[in-house]
């Protein structure tokens, strides 16, 4: 049973709000860290995103979850998806955040819908957002294209892209090789020290963001292989210079 699936059954069976004041309306997606729902905040009358993490399935440390959520809630930047609340019930821990309507950077890159100029602009925004988070002492730990949302109708400035899932990667089992679902995707953007089980710091986030942008310009991730083990063996190996892959790019990017 996918994480959070029991919640959907309760919601559809009763038609009443679940998880406190939030009524789960529609599944938006699922990944290694749980299920994301479109939900209605019945108190403030607004749409939100709710990520439900199954405690039994994911081995969540509730105390650590609260610490991580408090840290992430300090972040206030237009390039970061705002976290509104963390809650829990008997089976789940859930995080309520700003609803951003748009597409993941992963989908847009796969579809070839991004120009070099737009990728560079997104990269500038993400670097600034990451700098803000690090200044607050918050490490993301899982930066990858799937965790970047590009709004459908971006505002000016930093609204062109938003980092999501701050702290979520640290709520569950830290060993990436034990995870299911998007394991290969996570490993392909992971810093060498993080893949070896060491604590992820600011440098690990910067490394992951650099690989994300490298893929945007080059069209593929040079670390990704056919499976988790093969990908893990490539982590930390020297990468081909971007300029060798894209000789048409300005030297500042290579």
Category of 34 on φ-ψ map: left (φ > 0), alpha (ψ -120 to 50) or beta? left
Which two three-digit tokens encode residue 50?
């709710």
Active-site residue list? 142
Residues 6+ apart with CB under 8 A from 219: 109
Q: How many CB atoms lie within 10 A of CB 173?
A: 14
CB 100: neighbour CB atoms within 10 A?
Answer: 18
How far apart CA 221 and CA 217 sit, in angstroms, is 10
* CA distance linking residue 150 with residue 63, whole number of Å: 32
Phi and psi dihedrals of 22, rounded to 5? -105, 125
192-220 burial code (b ≥16 CB/10 A, e <16): ebbbeeeebebebbbbbbbbbbbbbbbee
Please name every residue paired with 27 in a beta bridge, in sequence order, or none if there are none.
37
């Amino acid at each position: 049973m996918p994480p959070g699936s029991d919640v959907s059954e309760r919601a559809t069976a009763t038609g009443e709000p679940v998880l406190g004041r939030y009524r789960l309306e529609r599944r938006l997606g699922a990944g290694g860290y749980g299920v994301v729902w479109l939900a209605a905040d019945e108190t403030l009358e607004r749409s939100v995103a709710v990520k439900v993490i199954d405690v039994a399935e994911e081995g969540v440390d509730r105390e650590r979850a609260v610490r991580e959520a408090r840290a992430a809630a300090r972040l206030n930047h237009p390039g970061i998806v705002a976290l509104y609340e963390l809650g829990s019930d008997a089976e789940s821990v859930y995080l309520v955040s700003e609803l951003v309507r748009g597409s993941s950077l992963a989908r847009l890159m796969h579809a070839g819908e991004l120009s070099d100029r737009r990728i560079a602009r997104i990269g500038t925004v993400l670097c600034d957002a990451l700098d803000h988070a690090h200044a607050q002492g918050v490490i993301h730990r899982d930066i990858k294209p799937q965790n970047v949302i590009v709004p459908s109708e971006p505002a000016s400035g930093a609204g062109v892209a938003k980092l999501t899932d701050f702290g979520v990667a640290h709520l569950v089992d830290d060993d990436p090789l034990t995870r299911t679902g998007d394991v290969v995707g996570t490993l392909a953007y992971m810093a060498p020290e993080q893949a070896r089980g060491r604590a992820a710091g600011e440098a690990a986030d910067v490394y992951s963001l650099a690989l994300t942008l490298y893929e945007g310009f080059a069209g593929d991730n040079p670390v990704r292989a056919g499976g988790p083990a093969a990908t893990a063996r490539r982590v930390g190996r020297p990468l081909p210079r971007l300029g060798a892959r894209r000789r048409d790019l300005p030297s500042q990017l290579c």
